[in-house]
Amino acid sequence: MRGRITASQLARRAVVYVRQSTTMQVFENTESTHRQYGLAERARALGWSADHIDVIDEDLGRSGASTDGRAGFERLRDGVAHGRVGAVFAIEVSRLARSSEDWQRLLSLCAIAEVVVVDENVIYDPADKDDKLLLDIKGTMSEAELHWLGLRMHGARQSKARRGELRFSIPTGYVWSDGSLQMDPDQAVQSALRNVFSRFTVEPSAWAVVKWARETGQKFPTRRSYADGTTEVQWKPLGQTRLHEILNNPIYAGTYAFGRRPVRKALVDGEVRTVRPSGRDPEQWAVCIHQAHPGYIDWQTFMSNQKKLRDNLARMTGASRGAPREGSALLQGLVVCGRCGRRMTVNYGGARNLGPYYVCPGERDKGETLCWTTQGARIDSAVQELFLQTMVPPELDLSLAVEREVGAQASALEQHWKLRLEQANYEARRAERRYKAVDPDNRVVARTLEVDWEQRLRELAELERQYEQAKRERRVELTKQDRSRVLALAHDLPRVWRATSTLPAERKAMLRLVIEVIALTPVEVPQRITRVQVQWKSGAVTELHVARPSQKDRLRTSAQAVQRVRVLAAQGLRDEQIAARLDQEGIRTGRDRTWNTWAVKWVRQHYAIERVAKDAPRSKRMPARDDAGRYSVAAVAARFGVSIHIVRRWLTKDVLTVEWEPHRNNKRVGWITLDIDSERRAASLARLARRRRSKRSSASSARRARPSR
């Protein structure tokens, strides 16, 4: 039956499969698409009626390299497998599949289901060995052709990229001009980018730059390109994602880079997936041409920015320092273990409020115990004092540095605002000229241009308002008084350090400017101490020794507190008076709590301190009734033969009426008024309580009398 159509095949449906690889081919290669749709006429000529011919064109714009995302091909294969299809029409094998695996699977189904494959000239029977061989060869050539096409296209891109001439989507701040990258002609765009890069050099993290941009009201430009070739700059708040894209892009360093993150296939959890490398190592880039175009920063600054971003990553393994955070641990990210060299992490005391701890995890991830741990308060205090004593720069150098930095930042911000205002003024004037140039009788165009002019004027007014607010609130322009205050604070570093407005993250950032790393090593003999080795950025190392008391020593009452208890007891004060005096003097217990009578008594007994004062006079017994005839809680309990706890329960349930008043030395005493109704209710409840108590007593006696088995 080779080359023929059988009656059973004509009884089933004929499927015309139409596919183009890309959307561009759909719009440009219209003749190929027309020829594929024309196969429906060939199906009618071979004997299929029009209502038995299906055209599957859902895969237009889809690659034939695999079946991923090709719903049309899946529908075709499902129809063949379920016996609904008698013939498959395709202009060539490459339209059906460019993968030998997909092609062979379809041919196997067609051979079993007795489905023919038809192109413009030939009818193939996959069940016939000769036709199957020919179809196999065509499928193999189609797959190889895709590979050859890819090699040629990739080679051409690589060759053009090596010359720095391959065009690709460029970030905001650059434009293509005369075949090379040039800086954006808009000076406001250039100013915004330079401000961001300069700010990242002084801020501890990218997030700090984002906060600075929000506080100063600075927005970041985005140049949008349109299909007609025009572009427009839009100003938006700077986000952290966008900032990372800027800092990680080597184009801003004047480097032409291509192939930083090549796509490759890999096995992930037993499945083939497309993966991309991080692209952080320039040695792995396909093309890297330095000084290919003007840069906003140099290559050395770009690499230092990458190192800073990597160090700020918070990893559970402690491999990087992490960005300065708001925790109270001053040396977070700086400390390493002097025993094993691992970076130490920070834990906090939790509910016990014991402060930060520096912990070396050791081989804990492999099931081992912690290397060691130490409390951080004493170490933080020692390093803090060392830092404040060391950082005393010459007055003249400091004054010049502060003056230069403050002036540069203020000038950069002011220049940025002026450029944006200048651009907004230009846009408003251009909109005005366009409106005035149109024929007044052409109202359709005139109304549109009038709306655009009004919108530009509103944008200009809003920008001027933001600029005035920034000058007033965020000090875009610094006065002489502002400069004097900044210089005064710069000379008084301890005052700035200890100010309540200085955040913990800011103190940590100050330390990281001058300290590279701090090694902590435990020393047990001749006494328990921690050896602290501070390595400065200059390479110098300073060694400190900090006491490392045990848990028992940390909770021990201080010698000052013991001495005060001894003195106050000798003066004839009682324990409660001593506790009040210690709290007034700000002296705390060993557990950092306030004092009470029992704490003072424990200290006296433990340190053998004799009490000179006599016992406090005992308070007089509370009367059963007051002058108004009201009963005390104990008197009511005695009157009805119940316990005090039962009377208190009656009070919570409003069975009795109580009035709370101070009496003698007691701050709060309850007096109960018994009238006829309340006395009747109390008596009834008392009888019920006595019956329940009697039943419980009888049951208990019965259990005790029961013989054991």
User: Measuring CA to CA, which residue among 61, 64, 60, 106 is closest to residue 85?
Assistant: 106
605 alpha-carbon distance from chain centroid: 54
Q: What is the largest CA-CA distance in the chain?
A: 125
Question: What is the phi-psi region of residue 520: left when phi exceeds 0, alpha when psi lies from -120 to 50, beta otherwise?
Answer: beta
Does residue 380 contact residue 330 with C-beta atoms inside 8 Å?
yes
Q: Residue 187 corresponds to which tokens in the numbers above?
A: 């000076």
The string over 486-523, giving b where at least 16 C-beta atoms fall within 10 Å of a residue's C-beta and e elsewhere, is: bbeebeebeebeeeeeeeebbbbbbbbeebebbbbebe
Which residues sit opposite 175 in a β-bridge? 182
User: Measuring CA to CA, which residue among 230, 259, 288, 250 is closest to residue 170?
Assistant: 250
Does residue 338 contact residue 519 with C-beta atoms inside 8 Å?
yes
565 alpha-carbon distance from chain centroid: 52
- Strand-pair category, 335-337 with 345-348: unpaired
For the question of residue 198 being annotated catalytic, the response is no
Cα dist from 256 to 192, 292, 619, whole Å:
22, 6, 91
- Strand-pair category, 13-17 with 85-89: parallel
Sheet (strand 123-124) strand order: 53-56, 13-17, 85-89, 116-118, 123-124
Does residue 680 contact residue 640 with C-beta atoms inside 8 Å?
no
Integer Cα distance of 91 and 109 in angstroms = 20
Integer Cα distance of 188 and 194 in angstroms = 10
Work out the burial of residue 231: count CB atoms within 10 Å of its CB; fewer than 13 is exposed, 13-18 middle, 19 or more buried.
exposed
Neighbours of 238 (CB within 10 A): 20
The active-site residue, picked from 21, 94, 191, 205, is 21
**Enclosing H/E stretch for 534:** strand 529-536
User: Measuring CA to CA, which residue among 325, 320, 326, 299 is closest to residue 308?
Assistant: 320
Q: What are phi and psi of 233, to 5 degrees?
A: -95, 125
Q: What are phi and psi of 125, to 5 degrees?
A: -110, 105
Q: How many CA atoms lie within 13 A of 704 on its CB side?
A: 6
Work out the burial of residue 417: count CB atoms within 10 Å of its CB; fewer than 13 is exposed, 13-18 middle, 19 or more buried.
buried
Does residue 375 contact residue 382 with C-beta atoms inside 8 Å?
no
Q: Outline where DSSP puts E strands in 90-166.
A: 116-118, 123-124
Does residue 637 contact residue 676 with C-beta atoms inside 8 Å?
no
3-state secondary structure of 325: coil
Integer Cα distance of 18 and 90 in angstroms = 7
Cα dist from 585 to 154, 169, 565, 610, whole Å:
80, 70, 12, 22
Q: Which residues are catalytic?
A: 21
